[in-house]
Amino acid sequence: MSDDSNALASLPRSFDRTDDRPVYVVGGGPGGLATAAVLRQHGVRAVVLERTGGVGASWRNHYERLRLHTTRRWSSLPGLPLPRRFGRWVSRADMVRYLEKYAEHHELDVVTGVEVSRIDPAPDGTGWRLSASGGRVLTGRAVVVATGYNHTPLVPGWPGRAEFTGELLHAAAYRTAGPYAGKDVLVVGVGNTGAEIAVDLAEGGARQVRIAVRTAPHIVRRSTAGWPSQASAVLVRRLPVRLVDAVARLVCRVSVPDLSAHGLPRPAKGLYTRVGEGAVPVQDVGLVSAVKRGLVVPVAAVESFDGDAVVLADGTRLTPDTVIAATGYARGLEGLVGHLGVLDGRGRPAVRGARSPKGAPGLYFTGFTNPISGMLREIALDARRIAGRLAEG
């Protein structure tokens, strides 16, 4: 694995990394590493370009409490199983160790400290030209974009936000509960990240923890009687939405208590219907218990800020010490490929996996969905499909 201090610094500003034009993989996270590894197995030269100083950057920056919601067995990348000693639900720190080992094990050509800002068709009409940091230009036979689902933190433009006198941060900046001990904290957003951070704060000594909810989520057990929810998600992927909604409704009523009296009602829409709309169920890793015990209090959605106050949709005014916005991420692809007409109206790749966008042969995307069957599982499948397609050429 190359070191960012010397890998590209001495090379001219315009160059090919290899004489035969490699496949460039943009992003050194799980998607990029998996694709590069399978390409190597097929005998295809792949160079991974990572903008930070090491692989797995997003995993390094996640909050410390984080564990995979998918099982170790179905979260391994091609060619190297996750070690059994990591347990069934792999921790953030162990995932970082695994990605480092993965790059080493497969002897991947990873160049760190290089950020790709734009991708264009090569001037000669074959392959792609990448504009990178330092004014460098790289030409490859194909490009796999794997910059990640959680690329650019998003904080809504709430009225009065800039004048808020308390602390406001995105969940991407949250690490541990220690700095918030004894404080009144409002977490905005009840997706998996918001739910876990709220529980972490409650268990870590915060004086008051509230969670602002715009739309009540479906909550599922990570596993029931040893059966992981991921296994169910894999089994139902091709079943009719109405059937899955009905089964999920029954399972949730049996396995998850009704929290309506605590301010977290069951959603009106079915679980699989909501998945189709982009809303992933919340895996319960302590939220249900924390809400029942009053350690985490659901409140209405945030509407605006007013000095030291947060104004909720029901008119309630809160004065928390800290607001943590677990409000999601943008894919951040517009500057990179937006000019190629390959993104949909929400800034996501119009096609992914082994399919190249129309008019952009040799351009591939992986890791830009968040399926209930498990992102890492789908990344592994994508890697094999993309590599197989490129090996054919």
Burial of 7 (0-12, 13-18, 19+ CB in 10 A): middle
Nearest-angstrom CA–CA distance, 351 and 163: 41
CATH number of 153-325: 3.50.50.60
Q: Which amino acid is at 151?
A: H
The set of residues, in sequence order, having a beta carbon less than 8 Å from that of 261 and lying 6+ positions away, is none
CATH number of 14-151+331-392: 3.50.50.60
Q: Report the chain's mean pLDDT, rounded to a whole number.
A: 92
- DSSP H helices, 258-316, are 271-276, 287-292
Nearest-angstrom CA–CA distance, 115 and 130: 10
Least Cα distance to 237 among 248, 221, 253 occurs for 248
What is 262-311 written as a DSSP string?
GTBPPPSS-HHHHHHTT-PPEEESSHHHHHHTTSSEEEEPEEEEETTEEE
pLDDT at 2: 42
For 355-382, what is each residue's pLDDT tens digit?
999 999 999 999 998 888 899 999 999 9
Domains 14-151+331-392 and 153-325 share a fold: yes
Residue 247 has which token pair?
């089964």
Least Cα distance to 285 among 63, 81, 58 occurs for 63
The set of residues, in sequence order, having a beta carbon less than 8 Å from that of 300 and lying 6+ positions away, is 212, 213, 312, 313, 314, 316
pLDDT at 286: 95
Nearest-angstrom CA–CA distance, 36 and 13: 24
Token pair 């009523």 is at which residue? 253
Give domain limits for the chain: 14-151+331-392, 153-325
196, containing H or E segment: helix 192-203
Token pair 């590069």 is at which residue? 36
pLDDT at 353: 93
Phi/psi for 368 (5° steps) reads -110, 20
What is 207-241 written as a DSSP string?
SEEEEEESSPPPEEESEETTEEHHHHHHHHTTS-H
Nearest-angstrom CA–CA distance, 204 and 196: 12
Nearest-angstrom CA–CA distance, 281 and 190: 10
Residue ranges in the chain modelled with pLDDT below 70: 1-20, 393
Specify the pTM.
0.90
